[in-house]
Amino acid sequence: MPPAPPSDRSPDRSSDHRPAAPPAPAAAAPRRLLGVDRAVLPGAAVALLVGAACVGLTAAVPVLPGLLVAIVLGAVARSAGLIPAALEPGLAWAGRRVLRAGVVLLGLQLSVGDLLGLGAGEVVVLLATVTATFATTLWLGRLLGVGRRLTLLVATGFSICGAAAVAAMSPVADAEEDEVATAVALVTVYGSLAILVVPLAAGALGLADRTAGLWAGMSVHEVAQVVAAAGTVSAAALSVAVVAKLARVVLLAPLVAGVGLVRRRSAGGAGAGGADAGAADPGGSRRGAAPLVPLFVVGFVAAVVVRSAGLVPDAVLPAVKPVTTLLLGAAMTALGTQIHLGRLVRTGGRPLALGAAATVVAMTVSLAGLLAIG
């Protein structure tokens, strides 16, 4: 008899089961841990572990640059198809967020005096490098038959600060997603090559640490790539490289604003063009989507100010450097996994040639200028 009631009530119980005990809210509630989506945790953890191993390798074998090893390992893993889908969100997250955190912490190793350390001649070389790279890339893009929007993105990213500059210029250029992705991929590939080229060439040419650091800061594309290239040379080269790179980043706001003004005037000169621009960007949702000056750069400057004001306890400073190196190592691993060589090959040889030419111009003009001023 005890079994009978349950069988009689089984239809009612089944009908009550759906609303009474919903598992979905309970499963969805813990999707975030400490403000971070749980989906990014596996990939971020792998990036941190590989980055830590590369940093440890450098400690054991100083001749091997840990940041460079990290980005090479990431690129090899991507090319070999060793990146499972579960790691993708975390690797993309680490390539952005962890990188920016590392750059901000890097500011605690510098002071305001360091940021004001560029001489007048060095500032002239920096301005000449940015101008020559931007103008020449625009000209070569037309010569090679690369699309105007992609050419503008490449010119901005290669002359200023890599992917952040591409993101800032993309709303102004009305760029499509695939054009933005191609420009960022070019920045990643050629900036990664520069991480290897700059230290080797600096050693072969017998460049002083300051000159090598300035060369890296004036010619390498991404902030993290500058850190990796100059950090391989020496701590002194790293300090001045970050200063030079920061000076380039400051030029992002006037460059984007100037291009936007020129394009707005051109669109205003042709009424239909202005109408098309508005239709392509309803509500202006894409314009202004990226800040003119990346927020992590603001954080970097704030960290420098905090350090200069003596607000960081002396006991804390020794721990900042290894943490910074670990974060940058993880970011380099993640950035390496974002190098999709197959995707770049499918875009054709013209964008690849444009990226190579822009890199050569930036490195040649900056090095020639630095050697000229002694």
The rounded mean pLDDT for the chain is: 80
Which residues contact residue 121 at a Cβ distance below 8 angstroms, ignoring those fewer than 6 apart?
373
What one-letter code names the amino acid at 219? S
- Identify whether 274 is part of a domain: no
The reply to whether 166 falls in a domain is yes
Q: Is 30 inside a domain boundary?
A: no
Q: Quote the number of domains for the chain.
A: 1
Q: How confident is the model at residue 282 (pLDDT cuts 50, 70, 90)?
A: very low
277 within a domain of the structure (yes/no) = no
28 falls within a domain: no
pTM over 0.85: no
Write out pLDDT tens, residues 54-79.
888 877 876 666 777 887 888 889 88
Which of 322 and 348 is assigned the larger pLDDT?
Answer: 322
**Cα separations in angstroms, 360 against 189, 249, 251:** 13, 20, 20
- Domain with 172, as residue range(s), is 40-56+63-268+287-307+322-373
Per residue in 195-236, pLDDT (tens digit) is: 889 999 999 999 999 999 999 999 998 877 888 889 888 888
Residue 46 falls inside a structural domain: yes
Q: Is 18 among the domain residues?
A: no
Which residues have CB under 8 Å from 364's CB, separation 6+?
A: none
Question: What are the residue ranges of helices labelled H in 34-98?
Answer: 41-60, 66-79, 88-93
Contact 148, 141 (CB under 8 A): yes
Domain assignment of residue 32, yes or no: no
